[in-house]
Chain A
C-alpha cells in the first residue's frame, strides 16, 4: 500500500471526522491560554476557536506519524533486501524506553511528593487526627518503599532481560521457599497495619465518656444544599425532632414539646471551644450527604431516618492555625463529600475554633430556634422560655432537665 493510498484511505477520513470533537476540546483550551498571555501581535483568537484548525493539526500529526511509519518500513525492507540483519531492534528500543521511564518516573514521583505533597492539608487539628496522621505516614513510608522497589524490579527486569536470539530464558517454574516468604512478609506487614488501624478505629468510635468532661453536643442537619446547626442551649442536650413536624417556620421539625428543645440555639457557623470534646449528632432531611471536616480528620455521612455520631476534640484554635500555616485567611470548614445533587459542589459552612471564654460570649449571643410563631403553633405561652437552670453546665441540673423532658414525653 502506497503512502498516498494510506492518507486518502476512507477509514482515515472517517476517523478524522470522529476526531473533530476531541480537536474542538483543544481549541478552547488554547483560547484560555491565549487570553492569559499578553496581547498578541496578531489576533489568532478566531483561529484558535475554530474546530477545523485543530482537526488540521491532528491530521497533520497523523500524516507525520504515517510518514515516519513508512520511512521505518522502507528502511527495514531495504535492510532485508541487502541481506543485513533486521533494521530496528524494537526489543532494545522498548527495553531502553522502560529504563528511561523508570528514571523519569522516579523523578516524577519525587517531584509530586515534594511539590504537590507540600500543598496538602496541614497537620490534624484534633486529638484522634494526630493518630490518623501518624498511621498515614507509616503507611506512606511502607507503600512508597514497596512502590519504588517493585517498579525498579519490573522495569529493571524489562531492561536487562530483553530478547536476544543467543540466549534462552531460565526455566524456573516455582520455588516454594521464596513464595512462602513473599506471602508471609506482606501478611506480617499488613497485620501490623491492621492492628494499628483497628485500635485507632475503635478509639475513635468507641469512646468511654469522661463524666467530668462531657462532650459538647452539636446537631448538624443536612439538606439540599445547606447545613443547619443546632446548639443544645443551657441544658446541654439537643432536643428531639420529628420530621413530620416540619413546616416553613420549623424547617428542622424540632419537637418543642420536648423541654430539651426549647432552649436549643441556631448558629450560622460552627464555633467550638478548643480542647473540649465535641459530639456531632448528624442527620439529614432529604438525601444522603457527607459531613466532611478534613482539617480535623472527621467525616461521616448524614443519613435520612437515622442519626450518626462522631466525637472529636479540637486541639488548635483558628488563630493558632493561621499562624502555623502563615495564612491570615485560613479558616476551618466543613462541606459535603457525598454526591447529593446539582449544588453538591458548594455546600459548606465555616468552623471557628476559639478559646473557652470566646465560645461563652459567642454562644450567649445566639438565638433560640423557638420563636413566638412556633410558640403559637405548639400552644406554648408566648413568654420567655422556662427559667434556665441556675448553674450552667452543672451535670445534675442537666440530668434533671432531661428527666423532666422524658416525663413530659411519657405524660403525652
Chain B
C-alpha cells in the first residue's frame, strides 16, 4: 500500500505544475490527459463510423437497385461509378473498407479506446494512465492508421477489396484484382499502425489497472466495466501481435517475392514462381487474432451495459462474481475457437470437430451473462435513460445474434451457411448492433463525465427507437437469404434465377438501412450540439456509485483535487434495504451506513462484524415496512 501512497503524492505534485504550462496544442492535440485522449478516440471513432455507415448505404443502394442508374454516384465517385452505377470492383472495395473501419477503427479503437481511457483512471481512482505519453502515442498511431486507410480512396486502383479478412492469394497477387495493388499496401501499413496503437493502449490499460488502484479498490471491488476493459486489453495484447506477424509475412509475399501464402498459382496461363506456401496459413494467423477480436469488440460493450443496467435498474448487478468469471471464461476460450471460421476452408476436418466443441462451450458464459442481465432487471426500479434504452437493446441483440451463432458454430450446419447472408446477419447483430449499442449506451451515460454537459434525453429516445427498430428490420430478414443459399459479397443478385425473389427484400432492407442512417443524425446533432450548448451536468446525474462521479465536473489534470478518494465497498450497493437513498457510493464507509450493512459485507472481518452486532443490538430494526 505504501507504494501507492507514494505514487499519489508524486502525481499530485505533477498535476499542480501541469496547469500552468497548458497550451492549445498540449491541451487539445498532443494531450497526455486520459480524459482528452478518450474524447479524441471517441470523436475520431464517431467520424469513422459515419464514413463506414455511408459506405454501407452506397453498397446497399447497389444491392437494392442493381439495374438503376444514379447519376449523383458518378458525381461523387467518378470512374468507380461510371454512368451512375457502382462497378463490381468498387463494390468489393466498399464492403472491405466498411468492414475494416467498423471492426477495427470504430468498435475496437472507438469503443475500447474511448471508454478504457476515460473510465480506467476515473473508476479505479488514479490520477492518469500508467504511461500518459504512450497513451498519447496510441491515439496518434490510431489517427495515422485512419488517415492512411482513407487515403486509399484517393489512389487510382482504389482501396483494398479482398474482404476485411484479406485472404491471400486474392489480396497478395496484384493482378487478381485492382484493389490488391497499392490499396492493399496501404491497408497493410494502416493495419500495422493500428496494431501498434492498440498494443500501446492495451499495455497501458493492464498496467494501470494492476498497479494504480486507489486505496481499498481490490480487484473484487472493481466495477464490471473495468473488468471488461482489463480482460479486453489482455486479449488484445496476446492476439494482435499474431496479426502483425501475419501482415509482415504478407508484405514479404507481396513485395519481396517470398511464398508464405502462395503456391501453385496460375493466372490464366501466367504461371507464378511461388512454391511451397499455403493460403490456409494466413487464415490461421488472421483468425487467431480475428476471433479474439470479436470479443475485444463485444466485451467492453458488455462491461458498459452491466454498469448501465445496474445503475438504471437501481439494483446490484446480479451475480457479480459469475459476471467476472464468465468474462474470464470468454477471454480464455476465445483463444481456442478461431478455427470455426475455417470449417470449410480446407482445414483438416479433424480440427473442425475440435473447434466446434470449444466454440459451442463459449456459448455457456455468454448465456450466463444474458441471464444475469435479465435477473438484474427483475424487480428493479428501471429508469429509462437513453443509456439504459441502448443497454436493453444490446441485451436483445446479444441474444438474437448469439443464438444464430449456435448454428454457425456447429461445423455440420456451417457447411451450408458459411459465407452466406446468414453469417452477415449473425455478426451484424451480435458484433455490429450489440457492440454499437454498447458504445452508444456508454456515450449517453458518460457524456456528462466527458464534456461536463448533458445530452438531450428526448433526442436520445428518438435515436434509440429509430435505430433499434431499423437494425432489426435490416438484419432479421438477411438470415433468410442465407438459409436460401445466397452468398455474401455478391455485387448483384441478377445472375441467378433463384435470387431474384429476394430483390424486394433487398429494397426493403436498404430502406431500413437508410432509416437507420438518418436516425444517426439525431445522435450526431445531439452529440455535437450538447458538447457546446448542452445543459450543465450535475455532479452525479445518474445517482451512480462508482468513483468517476466523485471527481469534479470541471476537468482537472489529475482528476481529483487533493487526495484520491478511498474505496470501502463494491460498486453495486443500489437499493440496499435499510439505507435512506437507493444508492451508496463506493467512497462511503460502512461506519456511515450501519442501518444497511449485511453480514456478508465484512468479508469475514471479525472485528467489524462485532461492531455491527453491537450496533444492531443498540438500534433494533423498526418493523414498519
Q: Write the residues of chain A forming the contact surface with B, with a CB cutoff of 8 angstroms.
A: 1, 9, 11-12, 15, 19, 21-22, 24-29, 31-32, 49, 51, 58, 62, 65, 69, 72, 90-91, 94-95, 97-98, 101, 105, 108-109, 112, 116-117, 119-121, 131-132, 135-136, 139-140, 142-143, 146-147, 150-151, 153-155, 157-158, 161-164, 167-175, 178-179, 182-183, 186-187, 190, 193-194, 197-198, 200-202, 204-206, 223-224, 243-244, 246-248, 251, 253, 285-288, 290, 292, 294-295, 297-306, 308, 329, 333, 335-346, 348
Q: How far is the CA of A335 from the CA of B522 in the complex (A)?
A: 42
Residues of chain B lying within 8 A (CB to CB) of residue A204: 349, 412, 415
Q: Taking the complex as formed, is B368 at the interface, i.e. its CB lies under 8 A from any CB of chain A?
A: yes
Closest CB in chain A relative to B160 CB, distance in Å: 12
Task: Tell me whether B239 is interfacial, beta carbon within 8 Å.
Answer: no
Do A22 and B57 touch (CB < 8 A)?
yes
Question: How many angstroms between the C-alpha atoms of A329 and B500 in the bound complex?
Answer: 14
Contact check, B320 vs A173: say whether CB atoms are below 8 A apart. yes
Tell me whether B167 is interfacial, beta carbon within 8 Å.
Answer: yes
Stretch at the interface among B23-31, B401-409, B607-615: B401-409
Q: Could you mark each residue 38-71 of chain B with 1 if its beta carbon is under 8 Å from any beta carbon of chain A, else 0?
A: 0000000000000000100100010011001111
In the complex, are the beta carbons of B419 and A167 less than 8 A apart?
no
Within 8 A of A (CB), among B132-188: 162-163, 167-170, 173, 176-177
Q: Is the interface of A mostly helix, strand, loop or mixed?
A: helix
In the complex, identify which listed stretch (B8-16, B100-108, B477-485) lies at the interface while the others stay far away. Answer: B477-485
Q: Which residues of A contact B344 (CB under 8 A)?
A: 290, 299-301
With CB as the reference atom, state the residue of chain B lying closest to A69. Answer: B458
B7 at the interface (CB under 8 A from A): no
Please tell me if B413 contacts chain A, counting CB pairs below 8 Å. yes
Instruction: Answer yes or no: B220 CB below 8 A from chain A CBs.
Output: no
- A-chain residues with CB within 8 Å of residue B458 when the two chains form the complex: 69, 72
B363 touches A190 (CB 8 A): yes
A306 adjacent to B346 (CB under 8 Å): yes
Residues of B within 8 A of A170 (CB): 315, 378-380, 575
Other A-B pairs beyond A172-B318, A295-B485, A304-B169, 5, CB < 8 Å? A28-B72, A65-B522, A135-B410, A286-B265, A286-B266
Residue of B87, B363, B416 touching A297 (CB-CB under 8 A): B416
Within the complex, which residue of B319, B411, B529 is in contact with A174, where a contact is CB–CB below 8 Å? Answer: B319
- Pick the contact of A190: B87, B318, B361, B399 (CB < 8 A): B361
**Mask of B379-417 contacts with A, CB within 8 angstroms, 1/0:** 111111000010010011001100110110011110110
Query: Judging by beta carbons under 8 Å apart, are B92 and A286 in contact?
Result: no
Q: Which residues from A are CB-within-8-Å of B317?
A: 173
A372 to B168, CA, bound (A): 37
Q: Are B176's CB and A163's CB within 8 A?
A: no
Instruction: State whether B170 touches A303 (Cβ < 8 A).
Output: no
Cα distance A97–B392 in the bound complex, in angstroms: 13
| B296 CB–A CB distance under 8 Å | no
Q: For the complex, is B246 an interface residue (Cβ under 8 Å from A)?
A: no
Contact partner of A120 (CB less than 8 A), chosen from B57, B484, B490, is B484
Interface flag for B198 (CB, 8 Å): no
Q: Is the CB of A29 within 8 A of B64?
A: yes
Is B352 on the interface with A (CB-CB < 8 A)? Answer: yes
Query: Per-residue 0/1 for B524-542: is the Cβ within 8 Å of any A Cβ (1 yes, 0 no)?
Result: 1100110001000000000
Known: A169-B315, A172-B315. A303 touches B280 (CB 8 A): yes
> Is there an interface contact between A171 and B169, defined as CB atoms closer than 8 Å?
no
**Of A246, A286, A333, which is within 8 A of B176 by CB?**
A286
CB distance from B434 to the nearest CB of A (A): 13
- B176–chain A nearest beta-carbon distance, Å: 5
Q: How far is the CA of A83 from the CA of B413 in the complex (A)?
A: 63
14 contacts between A and B (CB under 8 A): A25-B57, A90-B384, A120-B480, A135-B410, A154-B373, A155-B396, A157-B377, A162-B384, A186-B364, A286-B169, A299-B344, A308-B346, A338-B167, A339-B92
Q: Is B599 an interface residue (CB 8 A)?
A: no
How many angstroms between the C-alpha atoms of A340 and B88 in the bound complex?
11
- Are A29 and B65 in contact (CB-based, < 8 A)? yes
Are B411 and A329 interface neighbours, CB within 8 A?
Answer: no
Q: Which residues of B contact A333 (CB under 8 A)?
A: 496, 498
Write out the residue numbers on chain B whose beta carbons fall within 8 Å of the beta carbon of A97: 465
Instruction: Give the CA-CA distance A344 to B345 in the complex, in Å.
Output: 17
Q: Which of B510-559 contact A (CB under 8 A)?
A: 510-511, 514, 517-518, 521-522, 524-525, 528-529, 533
Asked if B70 contacts A154 (CB within 8 A), the reply is: no
The interface residues of chain B lying within 8 Å CB-to-CB of A151 are 396, 399
Q: Smallest CB-CB separation from A224: which chain B residue? A: B176
Contact with A along B415-457 (1 / 0, CB 8 A): 1101110000000000000000000000000000000000001
Q: How far is the CA of A333 from the CA of B324 in the complex (A)?
A: 48
Confirm or deny: B256 has a beta carbon within 8 angstroms of a beta carbon on chain A. Answer: no
The residue of chain A having its C-beta at the shortest distance from the C-beta of B359 within the complex is A194
Query: A154 and B377: CB pair below 8 A?
Result: yes
Q: Which residues of A have CB within 8 Å of B384? A: 90-91, 94-95, 158, 162-163
Residues of A within 8 A of B518 (CB): 19, 22, 58
Are A158 and B64 touching (Cβ within 8 A)? no
**B374: interface (CB < 8 Å):** yes
B576 at the interface (CB under 8 A from A): yes
A179 to B110, CA, bound (A): 33
With A112-B477, A161-B313, A299-B418 already in contact, the answer to whether A340 and B412 are too (CB < 8 A) is no
Flag if A32 contacts B383 (CB, 8 Å).
no
CA gap between A340 and B489 in the complex, in Å: 10
Is B353 in contact with chain A by the CB < 8 A criterion?
yes
B617 interfacial contact with A, CB 8 Å = no
List chain A residues, Cβ under 8 A from B263: 304-306
Shortest distance in angstroms between A105's beta carbon and chain B's nearest beta carbon? 7
Specify which of B72, B314, B468, B493 lies most central, judged by the most chain A CB atoms within 10 Å of its CB: B72
A17 to B625, CA, bound (A): 59
Known A121-B484, A162-B384: A173·B316 in contact at CB below 8 Å: yes
Contacts of A167 in B (CB 8 A): 381
Chain B positions within 8 Å of A295 at CB level: 485
- A120-B483, A154-B399 known; A339 vs B170 contact (CB < 8 Å): yes
Output the least CB separation between B400 and chain A (Å): 7
Whole-angstrom distance between the Cβ of A195 and the nearest chain B Cβ = 9
The 5 A-B residue pairs whose C-beta atoms are closest, nearest first, are A294-B485, A305-B263, A205-B349, A94-B384, A170-B379
Q: Does B19 contact A (CB under 8 A)?
A: no
Q: Are B167 and A29 in contact (CB under 8 A)?
A: no
The reply to whether A26 and B410 form a contact with Cβ atoms under 8 Å apart is no
B554 to chain A minimum Cβ distance, whole angstroms, is 23
Cα A84 to Cα B392 in complex, Å, equals 31
Instruction: Please give the distance in Å from A194's CB to the nearest CB on chain B.
Output: 5
Residues from chain B with a CB closer than 8 A to the CB of A183 are 322, 364, 367-368
Which of A21, A161, A186, A200 makes the CB contact (< 8 A) with B381?
A: A161
B228 in contact (CB, < 8 A): no
Beta-carbon contact of B70 and A200 below 8 Å: no
A247 cross-chain contacts in B, Cβ below 8 A: 269
- Bound complex: CA of A287 vs CA of B266, how far in Å? 9
B37–chain A nearest beta-carbon distance, Å: 25
Whether B328 is near chain A, meaning CB under 8 Å from some CB there, is no
Assess whether B510 is in contact with A29, with CB atoms less than 8 Å apart: yes
Q: Which of chain A's residues has its CB closest to B529's CB?
A: A11
Q: Which of B209-217, B271-279, B330-338, B585-593 contacts A (4 or more CB under 8 A)?
A: B271-279
